[in-house]
Amino acid sequence: TWEIPVECVNANDVCSSGDKLFQTHTAEACKDIKAACEDGNPQSCYDKATHCCELNDDCDCEEIEDACNRGNSKSCSFFANECCDGDAECKCEHMKESCTASLQSSLSNEELSQDCLDAEEACCDDCRPINDLEGQKMASCECSCDFWDQFC
């Protein structure tokens, strides 16, 4: 499973060498996670898509989409940006899934999820931004209204 060692967190709080320590740990952990995924461990495949795909190119879009379908917002946005190959509808749908997963995992008093703002931009690309919702930018057009209405 994916765990960040305490020494990585503590070192990163103290100095920039913590980032190097974290990157080294991540690379080593990803090797183990990849092997466990290849052995058929579904949690390891989820961890691989969630934590390791951005570090290297050994993830395929099917693995990333599987993690997205399990409710991982990071995997959904990664899939939208890396696997939709210019398909606006694909990008919109996966960014909406990212938004939904972010909203489901957030606390009620948190700021509006960046995933949701990115999803709005992907789904309503012809709208102009306005500051309206708790100081957050949202677009001004019918598409935007329909977009936000689905989350109410």
Cβ atoms of residues 73 and 101 within 8 Å: yes
pLDDT at 52: 79
- Residues 6 and 8: their CA atoms lie apart, in Å, by 5
Please check the confidence at residue 94 and state whether its pLDDT lies above 90: yes
Element spanning 117, H or E: helix 114-123
pLDDT in tens, 55-81: 556 678 888 888 888 888 888 988 998
3-state SS class at 123: helix
Task: Over range 82-96, report the average pLDDT.
Answer: 92
pLDDT at 84: 93
- Residues 39 and 106: their CA atoms lie apart, in Å, by 33
- Residues 65 and 72: their CA atoms lie apart, in Å, by 9
pLDDT at 92: 93
